[in-house]
Amino acid sequence: MKKSLLGSKLLWVIAGVIVLFLFPLFLERFYVYLAAIILLTGLCATSLNFVLGYGGVFQFHHAVFYGVGAYGTALMILKSGLNPWLGFIVGPLVAAILGLIIGLICVRLSKLYFGMLQISLGSLVWAIVYRWYSFTGGDDGIHGVPLPDIISSPNGAYYFTLIITGISMLILYRMIKSPFGSALQGIRDNPVRSEMIGVNVRFQQLLALTIAGFFGGVAGSLFVVVDNTVFPDMMFWTLSMELVIMCLLGGWFSYLGPMMGAAVIVLLRTYVSGITVYWALVLGVIMMLVIFFLPNGVLGYVDEIMRKKARNT
Amino acid sequence: MLEVTSLSKSFDGFKAVNGAGLSVKEGEVVAVIGPNGAGKTTLFNLITGVIKPDAGKVLFKGQDITGLHPYQVCRKGISRSFQVVNVFQRRTVFENVQVSILSREKKTWNLFTPASKMAIEETDRILQNVGLIDVRDKTSAALSHGERKVLEIAIALGGNPEFLILDEPTAGMSPEETTRCIGLIKELREKLGLTILFCEHDMEIVFSISDRIMVMVRGSTIIQGTCEDVRCCQEVQDAYLGGSDTCLM
């Protein structure tokens, strides 16, 4: 019974991936672009959820790593003169190191205090990027990042995003199912008990924060591929809040929840903001409804129904 | 095996533990008793490093473990269960115990091997021993209170300890569950040869399973001795019964 449930889930995922691969064949260019944005935003939200939903760490300013990954990639391509592919490694690495540094400072605090300090440190990074005209381009950002030919076309960018996102999602999933992930979820549920069974809680959290920073950075460098630009708003704290909302909306205890939340919010942002400038109001109302009626998020709710069905049959 | 000397801790000037002393020999079962608020749980927290003592020493197998972090204390071979149920709520019973074993085997840094294939036999053996094998795949939040208290002990056993600290193992259990739990504790001692330190309010349990008893009142040790010594100690009677001259129990 459990097997078949798992099997059907796997089937859904495979079908989804196939459909995603076929997208560029029958969708217009704009929708392909939109799909790529959803994928990379979803990856960013999933990497946040790695520490938020699975690690219980209130990483409130995750967009910093997204932005730093993007800037790292763009600046590496523009200024170093080295092989542009290197940029896609350097960006995430810089984000991971920043994740480690901010983590080192914040990890001694717990829950909300961690979140507050993290927001302020993240905003500091944002302010530096925003003001450092000579290096980062300041509030103008950087436009027209030259990319390797194979990924410079819209479809090339889309496939690159799809493949890298897929691989990253698999790696993160594997990590959650590993002993490391097991200990991480233990810490989320009960840090005191975790220490008492011999888990070094802070080190475990630091490693998780570094990993989350890395994959946030991967998402950022994918944005460079898809959009060809970077700008300081990518690491403004409002985007971080959106990322948190994506996790809550989709379901922060289900693995694909944040990806789904990202799809909903990106689509809302695209379509509702065309109708009204108050699109955040719509978002707020949706968020309230979710918290009241689906406290485990949309996918969490679907999971619940599936489990109930499996029990009844 | 465990030697605690003049351990003290105060919170905002309130002396929760005040010069407590305790010694536990290998293979012994020692009970700590005392009225509510005597500092029993604080004493356990001090021994296991959850809080740091202001003064005093904790020696384990001759090594000074005073002020170590809980995870370091655990790695020395001390496991504990908690008074208030303290399990991993969202994880299944199986995962609760498994993570403890994985942690002991220092595998929590392993990022890529699926955990679902690790330590299955050992986890199942522990669950079998404590009688939780039937609820193996339930989320621990779905268990009854009694089952969760047993799960507490099972998690502690996952660390394969030499020294087990149980903080009110039977608190809140039904009479049947209590009987089973006492049987379990006796078994742990006989089969696994564990040294056990526990605290408990039910005197019947205390006298039936412990070799020696330590009595705490207002943070200090009044007496540590055999059940006989404790039963007839005047100070203990003062503390518990307000100075009547009959023997306790």
- 3-class secondary structure, B31: strand
Domain end call among B160, B184, B218: B160
- 3-class secondary structure, A71: helix
Q: Is residue A241 part of a domain?
A: no
Tell me how close the Cα of B243 comes to any Cα of chain A, in angstroms.
39
Q: Is residue B181 part of a domain?
A: no
Low pLDDT (below 70) residues in chain B: 241-249
- 3-class secondary structure, B161: coil
Could you give the dihedral angle defined by the CA atoms of residues B63, B64, B65 and B67, in that order, rounded to the nearest 10 degrees? Answer: -170
Backbone angles phi, psi at A90, to 5 degrees: -65, -45
What is the pLDDT confidence band of residue A66, given thresholds at 50, 70 and 90?
A: very high
Which range of A85-89, A211-215, B5-9, B146-150 scores highest in mean pLDDT? It is: A211-215
Range of the domain at B31: 1-75+164-169+194-249
pLDDT score recorded for residue B12: 87
Q: Is residue B145 part of a domain?
A: yes
- Domain total in chain A: 1
From the list A270, A205, A263, A265, the residue with the least C-alpha distance to A238 is A265
**Cα A30 to the chain's mean position, in Å?**
22
Chain A residues in contact with B50 (beta carbon < 8 A): 192, 195-196
| Predicted ipTM of the assembly | 0.84
Task: Please state, rounded to an integer, the average pLDDT across all residues of chain A.
Answer: 89
Mutation pick from B46, B65, B79, B99 vs chain A, by most beta carbons of A within 10 Å, is: B99
- As a whole number of angstroms, the distance between CA A169 and CA A182 comes to 17
Cβ–Cβ under 8 Å, residues B223 and B248: no
Q: Is residue A284 part of a domain?
A: no
- CB count in 10 Å sphere of residue B63: 10
Backbone angles phi, psi at B18, to 5 degrees: -135, 90
Q: What is the mean pLDDT of the segment spanning A115-134?
A: 91
From the list B151, B177, B157, the residue with the least C-alpha distance to B91 is B151
Do B24 and B38 fall into the same domain? Answer: yes
**What pTM was computed for the model?**
0.89
- Domain total in chain B: 2
Q: And the tokens for B171?
A: 């608190």
Cβ–Cβ under 8 Å, residues A107 and A114: yes
- As a whole number of angstroms, the distance between CA B90 and CA B139 comes to 6
pLDDT score recorded for residue A4: 56
- As a whole number of angstroms, the distance between CA A256 and CA A251 comes to 8
Do B62 and B82 fall into the same domain? Answer: no
The tens digit of pLDDT for each residue in A240-289 reads: 999 999 998 888 888 999 999 999 999 988 888 888 888 778 888 888 88
Compute the residue count for chain A: 313
pLDDT score recorded for residue B241: 59
Query: Are A178 and B110 within 8 A, CB to CB?
Result: yes
Closest residue on chain A to B49 (Cα): A196
- As a whole number of angstroms, the distance between CA A40 and CA A162 comes to 8
Going by their DSSP bridges, the two strands B78-81 and B163-167 should be labelled as parallel
Query: Are B108 and A192 within 8 A, CB to CB?
Result: no
pLDDT score recorded for residue B109: 85
The B residues from 38 to 57 touching A (CB cutoff 8 Å) are: 48, 50
pLDDT score recorded for residue A5: 57
Chain B residues in contact with A207 (beta carbon < 8 A): 109
Domain end call among B114, B139, B160: B160
- 3-class secondary structure, B215: strand
pLDDT score recorded for residue B249: 46
Q: Is residue B8 part of a domain?
A: yes
Do B117 and B56 fall into the same domain? Answer: no
Range of the domain at A128: 7-235
- A231: which residues sit within 8 A by CB, 6+ positions away? A139, A140, A141, A142
Percent of chain A with pLDDT over 70: 97
Residue A12 has pLDDT above 90, yes or no: no
Query: Are A175 and B114 within 8 A, CB to CB?
Result: no
Terminal CA-CA length for chain B: 30
Cα diameter, chain A = 65
Residue A312 has pLDDT above 50, yes or no: yes
CB half-sphere exposure, A180, CA atoms < 13 A: 22
pLDDT score recorded for residue A1: 42
Q: Where are the alpha helices (DSSP H) in A132-200?
A: 133-136, 154-177, 179-189, 191-196
Could you give the dihedral angle defined by the CA atoms of residues B92, B96, B98 and B103, in that order, rounded to the nearest 10 degrees? Answer: 140
pLDDT score recorded for residue A166: 94
Q: Give the domain CATH number at B87.
A: 3.40.50.300
Chain B residues in contact with A307 (beta carbon < 8 A): none
